[in-house]
Amino acid sequence: MTSLAMALALISLVLVGPTFAIEVRPSEEMVAQTVEDGKKDAEKNRATTMNRFGVTSGTCSGFGFIQTKLFYIRSTSKVNARKMRPTSKKEIDSLLSAPAMEITYVLCTSSANQTDHHMVLQQGEQVIQPVKVVIPHSEVTASKSYVYTLMGVFTYGSFHPKAETTIIVIPEMGEKVEHRVKLSEYR
């Protein structure tokens, strides 16, 4: 790298600050910091809200989590700290070898027994289909709405990790829900 290129890179880092993105291969430093963040979450007894998107008030508001390798490392570290045990290298290596990112979304409908919900990512004109979609949880609320948890699994090579992305949730019945996110803001 030339000295001019190095100077420009340093200036952009100082002026703009570091940029994040969904890390397919996080550095050891990022992993270590994420493990520490999980421990702090456990100490403060707070939920891991890292990578949350959507409306977050009310049961039927529609929200989700972008669950990346670092998300799972932080969550695992938090659980382990609460159980007073360290997060092992084996656990971290297992999480780092994950081939896919998961997006979990909570939505409400007025209809029961919906099993054909779907989720896609859109980056520009490209629509990215998930490897699979599962509905791991559903329940009925006091207001007689049906709450579904929907999980889409997307392989890391199928999307650009820094691109502006629209997460599109398509319920079996009812209107689709779109959330624009900047993946560069998630880790």
pLDDT in tens, 23-62: 888 999 999 999 999 999 999 987 767 788 987 666 566 8
Res. 183: pLDDT tops 80: yes
- The model's pLDDT over 61-110, given as tens digits with 9 standing for 90+, comes to 689 999 999 999 999 999 999 999 999 999 999 999 999 999 999 887 77
The residue type of 116 is: D
Q: Say how far apart CA 2 and CA 88 lie, in whole Å.
A: 40
d(C-alpha 73, C-alpha 93), whole Å: 10
Q: What is the number of other CB atoms lying within 10 angstroms of the CB of residue 61?
A: 12
More confident residue, 15 or 39: 39
By three-state DSSP, how is residue 121 classified? Answer: strand
Could you tell me the two tokens for 119?
């989720």
| Buried residues in 81-117 as b, exposed as e (16+ CB within 10 A) | beeeeebeeebbeebbebebbbbbbbbbbeeeebeeb
Whether residue 16 has pLDDT greater than 50: no
Average pLDDT in the 154-180 region? 92
